[in-house]
Amino acid sequence: MVGIQKRLFFLICAVGVITLMVYILTSKERIVHFVHRTEFVTVVKNVFLSKECKELRSTERRESQFVTFKFSGRLANWMFAYASLLGIARKNNRKLCIGADNPLTSAFVLEDLNVCNTLTCSDDLYEDRPCAFDPRFDKLPPSNITIHGYLQSWKYFIHIHSDVKKTFRFQDWMRNEAHSHLKMYTQKIPHDLVIAIHVRRQDMMLKSSLKLGFKAAPLEYILNAKRYFTRRLKNKVVLYVVVTDDYEWCLKFLSSNDTVILPTGDRYTDLAIISMCNHTIITTGTYGWWGAYLAGGETVYYKNFPEPGSKLDGDTEKADFFPPSWIPLNKSSLLKSHSLFLFFSYFVCVLQCNKHIISI
């Protein structure tokens, strides 16, 4: 009876081990997730390499290797991933390769672009946080690499800053269309400078977005940012141009003699318009971020994004996401500064008055 129980026990264990191995082997993704955070990722993956991959690995070191990425996102997410991947590729002396389904070629003149759907025989690396710099990518393993993540940090491409701005050069027809659109709404209004205000609200107000930590910037912040530039450029006639996904809200709350609300256009033209302005006020998200980056000049951003304590807040390192030259503001920082200035002026006045009284 004891012998039967032992044999049954070993049989159950064997079936369990076989089932686990079949489960892992039937999916590359499961293999990667099963081992990618351990020391043994290379050893384990090499066990399952095909003969062709093993032959390729033997000659890889003598040839240029590739790096690509895998993620899902919209235009600005793709821009971050491409710019960051370009920076990572340069640091590691790799060739950059992206999928043919990317939206970038529809908007930009991308030279020397290597298009591929997948990299054969590549190793997978995963970023830790989507809006934080990961120093592991400064030195990649000696093989083709697929990076999984968003790579949303200016630090990945700071060393090729000028090349990135040249890379994201809009198609001629798109640039001409954006210029004509901007001119149509601004040419009749006297101005020295044009400052773009990007207001993103629609998807930021969804319950699912709010739950993660996304949020729309409040009206008070936008007005505060306008006051900042008006005072900063007091000797200039400033015209504000609002690019938004919520035309009716902006028309109701932001219309004024110095502010033009542009009707919502397509994502490429609106981004090109922002890039043509002298300075930028951005609210939330990566779309406005890229408009400001391409525009240059001064950029003011909403400092209370993401929502403090949220998941997105935990995934974001602000020093990695926002360039240090950009100016953080909230809805009351200028008011506080103005109040402090008035208090200090009052204090100095009192001291001067006391000195005058004592001298008398």
At 292-345, the pLDDT tens digits run: 999 999 999 999 999 999 999 999 999 999 999 999 999 875 444 444 433 444
CATH architecture of 171-337: 3-Layer(aba) Sandwich (3.40)
Phi, psi dihedrals of residue 350, rounded to the nearest 5°? -60, -45
- 30 with 24: CB under 8 angstroms? yes
The tokens describing 204, both together, are: 């930021």
Domain parsing of the chain, residue ranges: 23-164, 171-337
pLDDT in tens, 177-204: 999 999 999 999 999 999 999 999 999 9
Does this model's pTM top 0.85? My answer is no
Confidence of residue 54 (pLDDT cuts 50, 70, 90): low
Q: Please tell me the predicted confidence (pLDDT) of residue 328.
A: 98
Span 216-244, mean pLDDT?
A: 97
Span 90-104, mean pLDDT?
A: 87
Distance CA 220, CA 244 (A): 17
Give the burial class of 280: count Cβ atoms within 10 A of its Cβ; 0-12 exposed, 13-18 middle, 19 or more buried: buried
The tokens describing 236, both together, are: 């200039």
User: Which residues make Cβ contacts (< 8 Å) with residue 286, sequence separation at least 6?
Assistant: 76, 77, 79, 80, 152
Count of CB atoms situated within 10 Å of the CB of 332: 13
The tokens describing 349, both together, are: 């006045």
pLDDT in tens, 113-141: 777 766 667 899 999 999 999 999 999 99
The H-assigned helical ranges of 117-195 are: 161-167, 172-186
Q: Across-strand partners of 282?
A: 198
Distance CA 78, CA 84 (A): 10
